[in-house]
Each structure stands twice: as structure tokens, then as C-alpha cells.
Amino acid sequence: AQKVTQAQTEISVVEKEDVTLDCVYETRDTTYYLFWYKQPPSGELVFLIRRNSFDEQNEISGRYSWNFQKSTSSFNFTITASQVVDSAVYFCALTQMIKAAGNKLTFGGGTRVLVKP
């Protein structure tokens, strides 16, 4: 069985502060994908990143960066110099890398980020 844990339910920061969202996962699979999605107040889930279990390189995209550590089963997400528009709920998710498995996503509970001006 797969499980994703986002221990932080809510984080509040002041604009321009950095914020790191933790994601810890459990899986018996040796190959898998990890994802982060953003849910702004409008409600839709916006894809941010997909990372496969073979690639442990950290990734940076603008003010966003991701730290994947297989040894600790973590896939943490950092927003640098946060802005009010970053206020949203962020979800970490996991799926198997086997087509026959169907690739359903297992989600964490989400972390609500509130960036105050």
C-alpha cells in the first residue's frame, strides 16, 4: 500500500519569506513517480512537477525548488521569496511507474500556505 504524509496542515508566512513544504511517502515499489500540485482559491488542481524515482537531482523552476531524497523517502518543496499569489493548498502525490497498475494517484492531506503582505 502507498501512503503520502504532509505533516504541516497550514503554514503562514510574510511575503518574501521562504517556505518549505514537507512530503514523506511510503511505497513498496522500487519505481514510482512523485508529484506536486497547487490548489489556488479558485479550486482547480494545477500540476507543478513530476519526478521519477530514478532521478534524485534537485530541481529549480523560478522561485520553486524541489528536494528529492530517496534515502529518507521525502520530496520537499520550497518556495523562495514567497508572494501573495503563492497562497494556496499544495498537495504531494505518488503513483506507481507500472502502466498495468493503472497509475492512480495517492495524495497527501495537503498543506495550506498563507502568504501575508
Partner 1 sequence: EAGVTQFPSHSVIEKGQTVTLRCDPISGHDNLYWYRRVMGKEIKFLLHFVKESKQDESGMPNNRFLAERTGGTYSTLKVQPAELEDSGVYFCASSLLADLGGETQYFGPGTRLLVL
Chain positions contacting partner 1, by CB under 8 A: 32-33, 35, 37, 42-47, 50, 52, 91, 95-110
d(CA 37, CA 28): 23
d(CA 33, CA 55): 10
How near is the Cβ of 99 to partner 1 at its closest, in Å?
A: 3
Grouping H, G, I as helix, E, B as strand and the rest as coil, residue 112 is: strand
- Please, which residue, 13 or 45, has the CB nearer to partner 1? 45
List Cβ neighbours of 101 (8 Å cut-off, separation of 6 or more).
95
- Please, which residue, 11 or 35, has the CB nearer to partner 1? 35
The amino acid at 84: V
Q: What are phi and psi of 116, to 5 degrees?
A: -95, 140
- Please, which residue, 13 or 107, has the CB nearer to partner 1? 107
- Please, which residue, 44 or 72, has the CB nearer to partner 1? 44
How near is the Cβ of 60 to partner 1 at its closest, in Å?
A: 19
How near is the Cβ of 112 to partner 1 at its closest, in Å?
A: 12
Q: What are phi and psi of 98, to 5 degrees?
A: -130, 115
